[in-house]
Amino acid sequence: MTTIENILHNRGPLLSGKLAEYLAKAEKIPVNTASQKISRTKNLKKIKGFFTSNQSLCFLENQYEDDKLFSVFTKALFESGRKYWYCINALKIHGGIINKRYLECYTNYPIKPLLKHLPFKQVLKKFVDQGILIFIGNEEYHFSPKFSGLKTTSISNRTIEVIKDDILSHFHKIMKNTGLISFNKGEIFAEYGKFRWGFKGPSYIRGLSDNGKPGFILADIMFGREFYKEDIMFFIEKLNHIQSFKNAPRIMPYLIVDNLHPEALAELKKKGIAIGFISELFGEKYAQALNELVVILNNAGANLKSKPDKYLQLITELKIFNETLIYNIRGTLFEYFVGHIHIKKCQSIDIGREIFENNGRHEIDVFATYSDKVVFVECKATNSQIDEDKIWKWTSIKIPAFKSWLLKQETLKNHSVHFEYWATGGIAEPAKEILDKLSESSNKFHVKYFEPDTIRDLTIKMKDKKMKEALDNYFIKPTV
């Protein structure tokens, strides 16, 4: 093992500047000589282009599997590459998954060319090219599983984004109905000052307008956990940028939140930023119901085991406040419903689990573990029938990935394997033929599908009045 490898083995990943200092001391050579030696070493892994003084983060190949790499990289960015840190922090506080449109808001990178600023696409390309992030389906950024051991669960993150979409839409209505913005001029996920904002609306309110020119109300939203001072700095930095422009219009900034650390609250007030607490904008009971939903989804399996009826109660409560939201998160709630049926007999359950297998990312809607079998469930809460194309993708892409993944799970690989497809809108006949043939041809795993009638029969056997009401009201015969 070389001196450089020995230093990294003992001390963990290091910025090249610090590594050069340790190397110089160990070999009693000048720091400049040590730096040159590091740059010529070929068996080092390096993350480049993010740090001051042209430094690199140096580490060994086997340290990819150590969560310390992620923590060291994050800390190094905060101290020596702050402008890039905003991106990593945004992903971190959102569970390692974030939609592009929200990431554009939560980073202070312009989405249009701006002098002396790297644009959003260029910054994110650097992260993707170096294997730190992956970009999936032109919609979502994820931490690379090789780089970060953070377990991602899409069910909570995507549901939170649906909730945030809904809150921004209602915030727009409040601004319009109170006359704070020009009628029908507000925009969700709009560009202003070459940066992305959750909401933008021109205003001719006295104090904002100037010589007949409108001012603007700008807002972003943060929801789903407590946010700290460093988490809200992106918003302040964006405001600093646009207010530094010559002849910049007057603005009224809002940060819509549900839970702020006192230091973050004090910083926003200090900067003159209006804080839109969800409980004050939309009511305490509604805010509480949303927070309880998030708590359940963040640990869906454990909560379904300990409080199986809680989500049914929340459906009823949220319907009172917002029927549209219930419909928009219907897919998530149906996964929970199917999990509720399995949890009565299985040992453990996981909902919305993501795996990386067969060179792709795959989501397991419901994964139930029994004493002698495992069940992979695909859930589709649609009004229309499932066609051949969807079934083909499930049988030819997802099932092989699930099987490969299961073989790597030492405690489960010898269990009997079952695949289930649950569809509230039913399955078209040609699609059912594909499933029937697959079931008949395989003796290594089992395939079953559930349509409205079979789902209702299973629910009736549960002898749970609330489940039967939820099925009839929201899934099989939705009334919202």
Mean pLDDT of 68-80: 93
Assess if residue 146 is contained within a domain: no
**pLDDT score for 389:** 96
Assess if residue 147 is contained within a domain: no
280 with 369, same domain? Answer: no
330-343 helix and 452-462 helix, angle to the nearest 10 degrees: 50
Q: How confident is the model at residue 299 (pLDDT cuts 50, 70, 90)?
A: confident
Q: The tokens 């600023």 sit on which residue?
A: 117
Residue 151 pLDDT > 80, yes or no?
no
State how far the alpha carbon of 291 is from the alpha carbons of 90, 294, 311, in Å: 20, 5, 12
Mean pLDDT of 34-61: 93
268 with 362, same domain? Answer: no
437 with 315, same domain? Answer: yes
Residue 270 pLDDT > 80, yes or no?
yes
Q: How confident is the model at residue 184 (pLDDT cuts 50, 70, 90)?
A: confident
Assess if residue 210 is contained within a domain: yes
Assess if residue 105 is contained within a domain: no
Assess if residue 435 is contained within a domain: yes
Average pLDDT, the chain: 92
State how far the alpha carbon of 160 is from the alpha carbons of 92, 155, 325, in Å: 15, 9, 11
376 with 320, same domain? Answer: yes
State how far the alpha carbon of 88 is from the alpha carbons of 96, 286, 338, 438, in Å: 9, 31, 34, 43
Residue 480 pLDDT > 60, yes or no?
no
- With 0-12 / 13-18 / 19 or more C-beta atoms within 10 angstroms meaning exposed / middle / buried, residue 80 is middle
407 with 375, same domain? Answer: yes
Q: How confident is the model at residue 479 (pLDDT cuts 50, 70, 90)?
A: very low
238 with 319, same domain? Answer: no
State how far the alpha carbon of 341 is from the alpha carbons of 377, 408, 457, in Å: 12, 27, 12
Q: What's 393's domain CATH number?
A: 3.40.1350.10
Where a domain ends, among 284, 315, 335?
A: 284
Where a domain ends, among 284, 314, 331?
A: 284
192 with 275, same domain? Answer: yes
Tell me the two tokens of residue 300: 């869906």
Residue 55 pLDDT > 90, yes or no?
yes
Residue 234 pLDDT > 50, yes or no?
yes
205 with 167, same domain? Answer: yes
222 with 309, same domain? Answer: no
Assess if residue 177 is contained within a domain: yes
**pLDDT score for 302:** 83
Residue 57 pLDDT > 90, yes or no?
yes
Assess if residue 274 is contained within a domain: yes
263 with 382, same domain? Answer: no
Assess if residue 394 is contained within a domain: yes
Where a domain ends, among 284, 314, 329?
A: 284
172 with 267, same domain? Answer: yes
229 with 360, same domain? Answer: no
Closest CA to 103 of 265, 243, 245, 234: 234
99 strand-pairing partners = 140
Domain count, the chain: 3
Domain that holds residue 236: 154-284
Of all residues in the chain, what percent carry a pLDDT higher than 90? 75
pTM of the entire predicted model: 0.90
Q: How confident is the model at residue 149 (pLDDT cuts 50, 70, 90)?
A: low
